[in-house]
Structure 1
């Protein structure tokens, strides 16, 4: 184990995921979310295959024992990605990032519901704290959910991101089941393959021919997303999940910086307060799981902000 190496890899993954989201946001004015999912997924595949080839796992790393498990993980993960990308086009980047932190909180709830995992009062209280933070972030948006205004559009975006986080949490439940029988490389690859194919179902809803810069943004988003997934997966090989998982929340710092300097987005006090509560709740849950000895490293290694 090499904790510092694991942390460094995790931070690299976090930065790349935020940059990837920024590229998707930059193209979102004209490129629909389904088309963005296609580019994000398709151009991640050669990166993942190259990684497998370098590891010598290309011949054996793609074998599966649960094809339908991979499909359902891909289905809910694709829904999460599409909803998150839709939200990026409607909301400031830091706000999407903050609302995305709902996913690990909901994973605790879904684990109790679908995996019969025992959840004590300590983690229930942490989830409740996090959901209070989410409500603080959402409140200014949901109060304007009527009429045809910019605020209404942003309210719809907030709801989409929250639904995306819900789908991402469900994807984590499928991953938790898959890691018991499937190789990490197979889970990573077949998610990208499934989301590429499923995104094609959105073609009738208005795909466009992107211009030069937008095409570059979308291709880069796919390449960086694939590279970030490799860094993320590798981070958990060098350090325990409880060590590297809290660094997920460094994404808020990078999202604030990119949002401010690139997109001229100034965060509100409510957004920052809500984000602090959600981050605190997430870290409390991670520390509690470490204390209880819950092994979730493999599942976290396969998580992406989009599911």
Structure 2
């Protein structure tokens, strides 16, 4: 996605990838029972699709301007914010760990940004970091919706309808912004669509079987992949400041996840 955003911009990257996601989703849906989504599922699909569109636009715009490891590190604030949102949206009782962890996670982001300031980062890096932090806030909302959505619909339905909602939203601006990509980029777009669809299917399957706070911790492995790919593909070194900040954020998220799980309330809400 970073390669594509650099080549054709964030809007066209997401638009053409969404066509691929919908095509894959339709193919999988045609092989199954082809049930029509329930009214509750439609509401969740629409809400999560809108949040996902804004979240992805911000994130992919940001990663074109900052190193992958910095982007992933800032994104690690989402699980802590999800715990706070669980209290506000799902009416779950919150204990003292969540606000403490939130402050620690923000401190971790501050460490990362302090490292960027010491390196005389260009303005684009600061705007990119701000976009990714805004994306992390939306991703926290997305985590709550993902759990409710997974309880109301199957993985194939989630992948198809969510991709369709994203495509419809992006398509509203197509007359003014859409530009067909060069033929050389279509294999990369197809690969991005395939990886995105597989990701949605696996996440929907997982969130139907496990808690959001527990599953979110598995995302911390993404730092390893971001560091490896950022270095091999884009030549991005990993600074000590980024490592330190990421460590603080991960520790804060794991500390907050020790509280009572969000699943019980999410399940109750989905059944009422």
TM-score (norm 1): 0.75
**Which residue, out of 80, 98, 102, partners 1:127?**
102
Corresponding position of 2:263: 295
**Unaligned stretches of 5+ in structure 2?**
268-272
| In structure 1, distance between residues paired with 2:243 and 2:235 | 16
Deviation of the 1:114 alpha carbon: 2.4
| In structure 2, distance between residues paired with 1:218 and 1:65 | 32
With over 3 angstroms needed to count, the CA separation of the structure-2 counterparts of 1:196 and 1:261, relative to structure 1, is same
**Which residue, out of 27, 31, 34, partners 2:11?**
34
| In structure 1, distance between residues paired with 2:255 and 2:158 | 28
**Unaligned stretches of 5+ in structure 1?**
1-23, 300-307
- What is the 5 A alignment of 1:46-125? 46-53=23-30, 56=32, 58-60=33-35, 62-66=36-40, 67-125=42-100
Q: CA RMSD in A?
A: 3.0
With over 3 angstroms needed to count, the CA separation of the structure-2 counterparts of 1:29 and 1:179, relative to structure 1, is closer
Deviation of the 1:32 alpha carbon: 1.7
Q: Which has the higher contact order (CA 8 A, sep 6+)?
A: 1
Task: Provide the aligned length of Structure 1 versus Structure 2.
Answer: 266
* Preserved contact between residue 81 and residue 140 of structure 2 (Cα < 8 Å): yes
**Which residue, out of 127, 130, 147, partners 1:156?**
127
* Preserved contact between residue 105 and residue 282 of structure 1 (Cα < 8 Å): yes
Deviation of the 1:100 alpha carbon: 1.5
* Preserved contact between residue 82 and residue 140 of structure 2 (Cα < 8 Å): yes
Corresponding position of 1:282: 253
Deviation of the 1:199 alpha carbon: 1.4
